[in-house]
Amino acid sequence: MLFHTFVISFISLTSMKITLENLSKRYLYDWIIRDMNHVFTSNSITGINGINGSGKSTLIKLLSGYLSPSEGSISYELNQKKVDRSDMYQYISMAAPYTDLIQEYDAEEMFLFHTKFKKIRKQMDVNQFIDKVNLKGNKGKQIQFYSSGMKQRLQLAIALFTDSKLLLLDEPTSYLDNTNKDWFYSLLEEELNDRSIIVASNDLDDFRFCDHTITL
């Protein structure tokens, strides 16, 4: 699907800037994104809306560095200093259907493993984390035996609590029932400060905290 021409600049509270110039992505002979440029204002929460196949997940993957553009460029700056693409993982946290957890771990092991590589935004030990994710009754249970909703909660909590400058959420409530959607929205509201957030979804409720929404 072809997009109208935009210019994307994204600046967060910590002056994180991501600039997309003529961004294009092709799978085989089909252009999913073509000549995309847009400006995201600093310190904002942006929603990406669109039908299935419109390029929402592709855009999230490109922003995260998970995919490389077919054409065009993505440049990164933190506090007006360029950041190499290979170093961006330090500043990003992400939850998406195509990211995964270590299935042989339980929630405690997953949290402790994650904190070896990335800091948590607030003072929180593993027991407080388990309470926040509402998994206290599943202590010691391997993630592979979790329901889809339980896995989703764990992924979202890890991403939200990570001390990241850029938070990317792709279909964040796809496996959550109404009660757990409310849990997610409450947690998201607590963790809005001092970061830039992009949410891709088909569910308009997921955009309740967004400053503006782009439809692809």
For the chain, what percent of residues have pLDDT higher than 90? 51
Query: What pLDDT is recorded for position 11?
Result: 39
Cα–Cα distance, 63 to 91 (Å, whole number) = 12
Mean pLDDT of 44-66: 89
Mean pLDDT of 74-88: 85
pLDDT of residue 107 exceeding 60, the answer is yes
Under a CB-based contact definition with an 8 Å cutoff, are residues 90 and 40 in contact?
Answer: no
Query: What pLDDT is recorded for position 113?
Result: 95
Rg (alpha carbons) of the chain, rounded to whole number: 17
Max Cα separation, the chain?
A: 50
Query: What pLDDT is recorded for position 42?
Result: 65
Sign of the Cα torsion 40, 182, 113, 131 reads positive
Query: What pLDDT is recorded for position 9?
Result: 41
Distances in Å between the alpha carbon of 193 and those of 14, 22, 24, 52, 216? 11, 30, 31, 30, 27
Q: What is the amino acid identity at position 2?
A: L
For the chain, what percent of residues have pLDDT higher than 70? 92
Under a CB-based contact definition with an 8 Å cutoff, are residues 135 and 111 in contact?
Answer: no
Q: Which CATH class is domain 8-215?
A: alpha beta
Sign of the Cα torsion 51, 53, 59, 65 reads positive
Residue 40: pLDDT band with limits 50, 70, 90 = low
Residue 88: pLDDT band with limits 50, 70, 90 = confident
pLDDT of residue 110 exceeding 90, the answer is yes
pLDDT of residue 32 exceeding 80, the answer is yes
CA atoms within 13 A on the CB side of 86: 0
Using alpha carbons, select from 13, 10, 9, 53 the residue that is nearest to residue 31.
53
DSSP 96-161: -TT----TTS-HHHHHHHHTTTS-BSS---HHHHHHHTT-GGGTT--GGGS-HHHHHHHHHHHHHH
pTM for the model stands at 0.86
Residue 18: pLDDT band with limits 50, 70, 90 = confident
Mean pLDDT check: name the lowest of 34-43, 80-89, 181-190.
Answer: 34-43
Residue 146: pLDDT band with limits 50, 70, 90 = very high
Residue 2: pLDDT band with limits 50, 70, 90 = very low
Mean pLDDT of 97-120: 92
Mean pLDDT of 185-196: 87
